[in-house]
Structure 1
């Protein structure tokens, strides 16, 4: 049985070029991370070794002057 969870139909508006799409996506990700940095407890990030967690930490670094706490894990093979 297959279920559809997303309908990725084209959005409204004019198409944009690759450079503008990258710029818009970067701005949206930066803002998303920035608004989540508001906290009354210390924040950190788990580094999984992938591009996604590294990107989040890079955006965290751009949005704050303080140190970024990170952690990672290693498992025996």
Structure 2
């Protein structure tokens, strides 16, 4: 049981690190930063819905080759 828990923890840490590294590398693309600014502006509006803001971000980010957000 203990070995299984350690493997699960190691896998979770690896996934987190890989996601963080990917997200960090995407930040250096100026077009990605602009899309993120659009998302942040959208979320700052009164009554903003995350899925609608994520959709706007994805419309900007996809042609730029940035990571996409889930539209929940």
TM class by shorter-chain length? Answer: 0.3 to 0.5
Structure with the higher fraction of residues in strand conformation: 1
Greater fraction helix: 2
TM-score of the two chains, using structure 2 as the length reference: 0.39
TM-score (normalised: structure 1):
0.37
> Which protein has the larger Cα radius of gyration, Structure 1 or Structure 2?
1
